[in-house]
């Protein structure tokens, strides 16, 4: 403000000096009155030297003295504010006299609306209040013209009016409110965040836009650099577990922070982030659990918890058993949701063998920060005492599963094995044994309920079922709900109880045109019995056919035989089929044998030995008739038979007698007799053909013994009278 007063005083003296200059005679220049830093003068031109007998004439060229004008923003008053004055060499006030022919005009930015010029004096006034933040300067053009003719006396000249700034805008934080994070326990001086405020005032002119930052709220925890606005840690040992969030109020003040400056504020929310600076801590030093001895493997026997004041990953802990579990019965895991330690069973408990356990457990952080822990994670220990509770346990079999072996065809009620179980409890309840009949649907086995001996109930056949799997249950006598189960696998051992037999079809084909020594069929055998060293079969013909004139057998090295023809005189017309009994014996102990008959058919074959026909009827057909001709003949015969059947059917239908010719006449002619039948006399007295032929009524012959009455049934609608009709209608 003192500087601005000095400028206004200089402007006043400059105006006085300019007025004095304009009144000096022979002045050749005009001044632009305003805030001046320099001038631009016109020069005298077009001067002519004096001639003989002539008067010297001289003319001074009009010119402008230019400078910038300044006007304060936000200036308001009852009258327009004088910005400056434009003067010309032909000014109406030059030499102290008025020149009424000169007129000043103004054009450019804001001319006529914001700025106005006195057309006689050249004074420029600001008509409105100006705001530098909206527009900092205006470019205008001034010109002097002849008032009467409006002709320009000089070319237009351009000048600038600058709006001078005043401190009318407070600083603003455009990005607030702010949020920042910083780790807890940070060192003093660590940067937290930076804020920035802006001021719309002119940063060049004065101190209106020079900002200084300070903290209004948030001390002594934080500090701020007054020039850079960087917020820093100001207090050592800020602990998140004590206080997590801080609200800091920042002030930005212009005018360099001096009195009278404008200010703006912003809030910064500073959150302390967690670091691993706290160890896990068990809530109790000793935990006690009671676990029943029948608790299943993998089931939870208890939970422990080590609390950690940290959060997130810094609070994660792992649990372990470090002492007291020499038999490796327990294990402890971490619940990822609750961060609890879960005590689980790895092996079953036995109250009778050990009734209590004392375990030492440890909780340790997953990660660690070397700044707060010396080379290893934080950890804590506690003691867990486990008491085993006695439970009524089910019987325990001596083996988890049993394998028994028995030969097939063993006698019924033979003992094939035994199972045993006992009550592990101190009471030692007696045990009863049963077979689960769902696993023995055919009831092939029995068990003694007292001692568990398994016997055969039915004979076994290895060839039907080699294995039998049954389930045996053991139940306590004192508590029937305590049941245990064991699987008993019974393997049926083989004995030589099956004779060998042909492995495939027992039928062979022999060509008529075969040669002696031709192999008719290769025969092999199978045996249902199980021979670990393999089967060996002995083949032979039955004794009564040992000298068979037609066939013989030959042993092969692969446990099979070949049937060989002895001659080539086989003909279908002579004998179509031969039967060859073969005895097959095995090498079992004792050996078994069976007789199998090979059927040999004599067939017609092609030259290459392919069988074509094995039916003897094929030889009664004439030689030379092809198969196509045979089919045609058969079709003709069938067609002829169909025609004959149709003809006979139609003829019988045509000769069938017609019993009824006129249905209406039969209905209207009924013969009635009021006496009993005469037996054999009726056959002579009455002609039955009359009923069969209604036309024969006119030629009806009456009975010899009784005169019949012939009545006519009236048509529909006529009264029949009191006499009824007993005869049936004939259709």
Question: What confidence tens digit (pLDDT) does each residue in 360-408 have?
Answer: 999 999 887 777 776 678 889 999 999 998 887 889 999 989 999 998 8
User: What is the average per-residue pLDDT within 106-128?
Assistant: 87
Handedness of CA 502, 503, 505, 509 (dihedral sign): negative
Overall average pLDDT of the 651-656 stretch: 72
Query: What mean pLDDT comes out for the span 113-128?
Result: 86
- Band (pLDDT 50/70/90 cuts) for residue 111 is confident
Q: Indicate the range of 6-10, 74-78, 424-428, 502-506 predicted with least confidence.
A: 6-10
Look at 60-74, 85-99, 116-130, 333-347 and tell me which has the smallest mean pLDDT.
85-99
Q: Rounded mean pLDDT of 690-696?
A: 52
Q: How far is CA 354 from CA 51, 298, 388, 392, in A?
A: 150, 19, 8, 16
| DSSP strands (E only) in 620-706 | 669-672
Say what the pLDDT of residue 370 is. Answer: 78
- Give the containing element (helix H, strand E) for 684: helix 680-685
Q: What is the pLDDT of residue 389?
A: 87
> Residue 525 forms beta bridges with which residues?
502
- For residue 398, what pLDDT is reported? 92
Instruction: Give the best-scoring range by mean pLDDT among 270-279, 646-655, 659-668.
Output: 270-279
Q: How far apart are alpha carbons 161 and 111 in whole angstroms? A: 11
Q: What is the pLDDT at residue 693?
A: 55
4-51 pLDDT, tens per residue?
Answer: 444 444 455 444 444 444 433 333 333 344 443 333 333 222 323 333
Q: What Å distances lie between residue 421 and 51, 177, 288, 299, 466, CA to CA?
A: 161, 79, 34, 26, 27
Mean pLDDT on 583-590: 81
Q: Residues 214-229: what's their mean pLDDT? A: 93
More confident residue, 452 or 375: 452
* DSSP state letter for 675: S
pLDDT for res 47: 26
- pLDDT category of residue 75 using cuts at 50, 70 and 90: confident
What is the mean pLDDT of the segment spanning 428-433? Answer: 90
| Neighbour count for residue 465 (Cβ, 10 Å) | 13
Q: State the pLDDT at residue 626.
A: 64
Share of the chain above pLDDT 90, in %: 30
In whole angstroms, how far apart are CA 76 and each of 9, 126, 165, 680? Answer: 20, 10, 14, 163
Alpha carbon of 444 to those of 450, 457, 471, 485: distances in Å? Answer: 19, 5, 13, 19
Judged by phi (left if over 0) then psi (alpha if -120 to 50, else beta), residue 315 lies in: alpha
pLDDT at residue 684 tops 50: yes
Mean pLDDT of the 590-617 span: 79
Instruction: Tell me the two tokens of residue 138.
Output: 């205006």
| 671 has a pLDDT exceeding 70 | no
pLDDT at 274 (0 to 100): 92
Candidate from 301-310, 529-538, 669-678 with smallest mean pLDDT: 669-678
**Residue 675 confidence (pLDDT) above 70:** no
- 710: pLDDT confidence band, cut at 50, 70 and 90? very low
**Residue whose tokens read 């002709």:** 151
Residue 231: pLDDT over 60: yes
- Look over the chain and give the mean of its residue pLDDT values, rounded to a whole number: 78
- Which of 166-180, 567-581, 653-667 shows the lowest per-residue confidence on average (mean pLDDT)? 653-667
By the 10 Å C-beta count (0-12 exposed, 13-18 middle, 19+ buried), 279 is classed as buried
Q: What is the per-residue DSSP string for 526-567?
A: E-SS--TT----EEEE-GGGTT-SSEEEEE-TTSEEEEEES-
* Structure confidence by residue, pLDDT tens digits, 468-520: 999 999 999 888 888 999 999 999 988 777 788 888 777 888 888 778 888 88
Instruction: Decide: 290 and 302 in contact? Cβ < 8 Å.
Output: no
Say how far residue 477 (Cα) sits from the centre of its chain. Answer: 54
Q: What is the pLDDT of residue 270?
A: 96
Distances, alpha carbon 462 to alpha carbons 408, 410, 417, 455, 631, in Å: 6, 11, 18, 17, 56
Per-residue confidence band for 128, with pLDDT thresholds at 50, 70 and 90: confident
Can you say whether the dihedral through the CA atoms of 677, 678, 684, 686 is positive or negative?
Answer: negative
pLDDT at 28: 31
What is residue 96's predicted lDDT score, i.e. its pLDDT? 43
- The token pair at 93 is 């006030």
Q: What is the pLDDT of residues 172-192, one digit of tens each?
A: 998 889 999 999 999 999 999
pLDDT at res. 517? 82
pLDDT at 688: 54
147 — pLDDT class (breaks 50, 70, 90): confident
pLDDT(53) > 60 = no
Say if residue 107's pLDDT is above 70: yes
Q: What is the pLDDT of residue 361?
A: 94
pLDDT reading at 709 higher than 50:
no
Asked if pLDDT for residue 601 goes beyond 60, the answer is yes
Lowest mean pLDDT among 74-78, 412-416, 428-432: 74-78
Residues 6+ apart with CB under 8 A from 143: 104, 105, 107, 152, 154, 155, 156, 157
Q: Are 525 and 502 in contact (CB under 8 A)?
A: yes
Mean pLDDT is lowest, of 336-345, 413-422, 614-623, for: 614-623
Residue with the bigger pLDDT between 264 and 705: it is 264
> According to the model, what pLDDT value does residue 39 have?
32
Query: Percentage of the chain with pLDDT > 70?
Result: 76
**Which band of pLDDT confidence, cut at 50, 70 and 90, is reported for residue 630?**
confident
318/610: higher pLDDT: 318
Q: What is the pLDDT of residue 674?
A: 57
Q: What is the pLDDT of residue 562?
A: 87
């Amino acid at each position: 403000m003192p500087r601005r007063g000095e400028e206004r005083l200089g402007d006043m003296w400059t105006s006085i000096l300019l007025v004095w200059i304009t009144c000096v005679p022979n002045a050749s220049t005009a001044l632009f009155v305003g805030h001046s830093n320099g001038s631009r003068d016109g020069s005298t031109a077009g001067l002519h030297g004096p001639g003989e007998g002539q008067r010297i004439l001289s003319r001074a060229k009009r010119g402008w003295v230019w400078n910038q004008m300044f006007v304060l923003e936000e200036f308001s008053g009852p009258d327009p504010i004088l910005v400056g004055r434009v003067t010309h060499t032909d000014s109406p006030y030059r030499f102290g006299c008025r020149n009424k022919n000169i007129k000043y005009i103004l054009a450019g930015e804001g001319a006529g609306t914001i700025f106005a010029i006195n057309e006689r004096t050249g004074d420029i006034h600001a008509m409105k209040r100006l705001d530098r933040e909206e527009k900092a300067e205006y470019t205008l053009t001034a010109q002097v013209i002849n008032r009467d003719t409006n002709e320009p006396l000089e070319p237009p000249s351009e000048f600038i009016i600058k709006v001078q700034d005043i401190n009318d805008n407070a600083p603003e934080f455009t990005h607030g409110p702010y949020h920042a994070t910083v780790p807890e326990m940070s060192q003093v001086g660590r940067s937290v965040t930076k804020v920035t405020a802006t001021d719309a005032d002119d940063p060049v002119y004065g101190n209106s836009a020079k900002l200084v930052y300070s903290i209004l709220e948030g001390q002594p925890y934080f500090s701020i650099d007054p020039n850079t606005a960087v917020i820093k840690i100001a207090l050592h040992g800020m602990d998140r577990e004590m206080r997590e969030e801080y609200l800091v109020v920042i002030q930005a003040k212009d005018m360099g922070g001096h009195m009278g400056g404008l200010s703006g504020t912003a809030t910064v929310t500073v959150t302390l982030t967690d670091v691993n600076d706290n160890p896990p801590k068990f809530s109790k030093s000793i935990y006690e659990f009671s676990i029943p001895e029948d608790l299943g493997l993998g089931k939870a026997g208890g939970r422990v918890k080590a609390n950690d004041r940290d959060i997130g990953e810094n609070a994660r802990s792992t649990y372990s058993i470090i002492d007291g579990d020499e038999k490796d019965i327990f294990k402890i895991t971490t619940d990822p949701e609750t961060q609890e330690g879960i005590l689980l069973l790895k092996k079953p408990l036995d109250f009778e063998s050990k009734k209590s356990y004392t375990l030492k457990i440890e909780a340790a952080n997953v990660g660690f920060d070397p700044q707060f822990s010396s080379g290893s994670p934080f950890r804590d220990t506690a003691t867990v005492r486990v008491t085993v509770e006695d439970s009524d346990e089910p019987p325990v079999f001596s083996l988890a599963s049993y394998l028994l072996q028995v030969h097939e065809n063993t006698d019924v009620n033979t003992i094939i094995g035994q199972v045993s179980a006992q009550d592990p409890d101190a009471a030692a309840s007696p045990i009863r044994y049963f077979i689960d009949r769902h696993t023995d649907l055919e009831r092939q086995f029995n068990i003694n309920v007292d001692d568990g001996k398994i016997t055969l109930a039915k004979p076994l056949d290895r060839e039907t079922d080699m294995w039998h799997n049954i389930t045996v249950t053991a139940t306590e006598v004192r508590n029937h709900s305590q049941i245990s189960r064991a699987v008993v696998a019974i393997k049926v051992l083989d004995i030589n109880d099956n004779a060998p037999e042909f492995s495939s079809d027992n039928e062979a084909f022999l060509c008529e045109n075969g040669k002696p020594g031709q192999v008719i069929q290769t025969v092999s055998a199978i045996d249902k019995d199980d021979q670990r060293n393999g089967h060996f079969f002995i083949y032979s013909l039955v004794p009564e056919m040992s000298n068979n004139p037609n066939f013989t057998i030959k042993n092969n090295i692969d446990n099979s035989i070949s049937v060989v023809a002895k001659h080539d005189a086989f003909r279908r017309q002579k004998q179509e089929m031969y039967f060859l009994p073969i005895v097959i014996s095995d090498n079992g102990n004792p050996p078994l044998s069976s007789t199998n008959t090979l059927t040999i058919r004599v067939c017609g074959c092609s030259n290459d030995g392919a069988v074509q026909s094995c039916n003897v009827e094929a030889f009664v057909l004439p030689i030379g008739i092809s198969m196509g001709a045979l089919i045609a003949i058969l079709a003709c015969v069938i067609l002829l038979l169909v025609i004959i059947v149709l003809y006979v059917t139609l003829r019988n239908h045509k000769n069938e007698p017609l019993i009824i010719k006129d249905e209406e006449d039969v209905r209207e002619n009924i013969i009635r007799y009021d006496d009993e039948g005469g037996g054999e006399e009726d056959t002579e007295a009455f002609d039955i053909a009359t009923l069969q032929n209604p036309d024969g009524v006119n030629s009806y012959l009456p009975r010899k013994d009784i005169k019949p009455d012939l009545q006519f049934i009236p048509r529909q609608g006529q009264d029949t009278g009191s006499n009824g009709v007993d005869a049936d209608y004939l259709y």
